[in-house]
Amino acid sequence: MPSFKAFCWIPVVLFVFACNGKAPKQWTDLNSTVPQYDQLEYWAAHPLKTDSSDLVPSDLQDYRTLKEADVFFLYPTIYWQKRSDKLWNAPVDDPKLNERIDAASLKNQASIFNAVGRVYAPRYRQAHIDAYYAKDPGAAAKAFEIAYSDVRKAFQYYLEHYNEGRPFFIASHSQGTTHGMRLVKEFIDGTDLEDQLVAAYLVGIGVPAFYYNSLKPCTYPTEIDCICSWRTFRRGYYPKDHFSYLSDYINTNPISWTNEAASTDMHKGAILYNFDALEAGICEAEQHEGLIWMDKPKFKGSAFFVQKNYHIGDFNLFYLDVRENAINRLNTWLELNEEIQ
């Protein structure tokens, strides 16, 4: 059985860990470092440093790439272990936590997007996983607000110092999407920045279809200035938080990129326990009441999928599908904006 780290260590989705952990008893204000985004050490990924988002699976070493865009990437919850100091928010200068972020999310998720451009991923004071299950909503809200304040500050710095009018993507997973969907609403929805947005991949958290005023869900593979979002589960399973099985979430099929159900012969490739080896033709995808349903994928080590919640693989399972889709959407943006290039 593959290790969590080898697959993509994102325990936020393996709820058995969340339920067995103990949430901080009370919210504790941070005395740790506030990230300063004019310093490279506060960027997990940045084009001026070598980092895990630069990695390319060996199967794709000769694969076509574009570099005309930027990608602002927000990683998921990695802060889940018990803390003796009872902090609700992770310090950004914890070397062990940062190593886990880089070895898991940057390597297995953010690297998808190095085909389309420069990847920026800020280190932020992420909320503890139990903020999602806290009995004290006020404390949890404070924790998420601290995390979002860092994300917001990082994006502002990116816009002011790095973007220079380039097209960009927003990409996020899980807690990253909790903040990413808010960031898109505040800075991009209905603003001039829509003209630069290629697409936003807000994955792993339900994004209501009515959340944005101007931005719409992506409905075909080359559409731009739109939102892609999905949550992946085994066929027949409903999560407990599915709100009476509502269907009014943005729900993108990450293989077909349309409302068409996708069979395994359409699946381009997953990155699983072996980062260097693509596993093609092992996944299907069908939209169902705001969820993506699929049968249990069949591959070496597939016993790992003991849970029916495949959130841990929301990006990994469709690694090459997302990578190619981002390239296709960027090509469309470049063609439509050829006169300003």
The DSSP line for 10-46 is -GGG-HHHHHHS---SS-----SPPP-TTSGGGEEE-
For residue 4, what pLDDT is reported? 33
For residue 64, what pLDDT is reported? 62
For residue 226, what pLDDT is reported? 98
Question: Is residue 212 within 8 Å of residue 225, measured between CB atoms?
Answer: no
Return left, alpha or beta for 22; rule: phi > 0 is left, psi -120 to 50 is alpha, else beta.
Answer: beta
H-assigned helices in 59-203 = 95-101, 107-108, 137-158, 175-187
Q: Show the tokens assigned to 1.
A: 């059985």
For residue 21, what pLDDT is reported? 42
**Mean pLDDT by groups of 10 residues along the chain of 341 residues:** 36 33 51 89 97 93 78 94 69 94 96 96 94 83 95 98 97 98 98 98 94 97 98 92 70 97 97 91 94 87 72 95 97 87 49
Strands of the sheet containing 117-122, edge to edge, are: 43-45, 117-122, 69-74, 168-173, 197-203, 226-228, 216-217
Nearest Cα neighbor of 199 from 52, 53, 322 is 322
* Count, residues in the chain: 341
Prediction pTM value: 0.90
Q: Show the tokens assigned to 256.
A: 């077909």
> What is the number of alpha carbons within 13 Å of residue 16 lying toward its C-beta?
5
Q: Show the tokens assigned to 238.
A: 């409903």
Contacts of 264 (CB under 8 A, 6+ apart): 281, 282, 283, 284
